[in-house]
Structure 1
């Protein structure tokens, strides 16, 4: 199964003129990363505090699209405008899992949406990203395999937010959705590890 991540090159091409203007204006990749994390925190806290306000859920898909754009922009500023740094790499990886947790945990506040499945989904998201980075430390590339990578999670949860924002009543369908999302997250984890090890071309390294 493919991932929304496969569309990234086209998305980047669309954003490239804007990125060039931001670089010329002195905007840095780290500033964009921190802005995305800060905005995620604000919306996540608002959703958690007022889960019964449809307008807030309607904001979620819009914000997730903006966040995907910001994630692409910070990477392009870093790679294409000489802003790569160790701090930037840390902010990028940690900011993504931080934002995912803040934006998706509020679903657990909705009736008929068991906390355990939302938490399982978020934990798997964190572990999948850890696995992607781990493969890089073992000599493979940073793995972004789907079917439930960062962009896929944004599309899936954005669709739920859109439904809730348009007036859908929380019910058992939310539990079904997060069970499916969690299963896809587990599949993603397996794919990232197996494909990363296959790329590396060797058996898993032993524990220290």
Structure 2
């Protein structure tokens, strides 16, 4: 199924010159991964502390764009500049899950969002990423099938953050968007599990 993740190759081509310069001055993939997680935790904390202010919500999509770039950069540093490591693999998977939880759970404090639904989406996102990793355990590759992968979730929460930040009533629209996201996350889990099983069997 289509996913924002499919745009990643073009995004990486744009970033490749900058990645080369970062590698030349000694920036490591692991440092970039940790930086992305720390930034996500920081912005999430700001939203949690000031859920009724507009500027923390505006910071969310800005951070998501920065984080998307950092996620692409750490992978390129690892693959293309001989920085692969076991620690890097652990940090990459944990960093994504921690970043998502830290950044999205505070939406439960923002007026108009249904807290239980926000939590459900975050939990399903964690299950989806775990399902992708399980593929490796059964002899398949790390699975990234959609339709609600990491990049897609970023688009959903980024748009919702801007919607709320500029004073638009969240209400039933936010509830509907999160409900659809939850359904798509369940489908994502199923798609990743099926793809892993099929690849593992082959």
Which TM class, normalised by the smaller chain length?
over 0.9
| Aligned residue number for residue 68 of structure 2 | 68
Q: CA deviation at 1:140?
A: 0.9
Q: How does 1:125-144 map to 2 (within 5 A)?
A: 125-144=125-144
- Counterpart CA distance in 2 for 1:57 and 1:142 is 32
SS of equivalent to 1:169 = coil
- Counterpart CA distance in 1 for 2:33 and 2:63 is 14
- Counterpart CA distance in 2 for 1:15 and 1:181 is 29
| Aligned residue number for residue 179 of structure 2 | 179
Q: How does 1:141-160 map to 2 (within 5 A)?
A: 141-160=141-160
Q: How does 1:63-142 map to 2 (within 5 A)?
A: 63-142=63-142
Q: What TM-score, normalized to structure 2?
A: 0.97
Q: Does 1:44 align with 2:69?
A: no
Q: CA deviation at 1:162?
A: 1.5
8 Å CA contact 2:112–2:169 kept in 1: the answer is no
Q: What TM-score, normalized to structure 1?
A: 0.94
8 Å CA contact 1:113–1:170 kept in 2: the answer is yes
Aligned CA RMSD, in angstroms, stands at 1.0
8 Å CA contact 2:112–2:171 kept in 1: the answer is yes
Cα deviation code 1:50-86 (max 9, x no counterpart): 1111111111111101101000000000010010000
8 Å CA contact 2:61–2:161 kept in 1: the answer is yes
| Aligned residue number for residue 201 of structure 1 | 201
8 Å CA contact 1:110–1:170 kept in 2: the answer is no
Unaligned runs of 5+ in 2: none
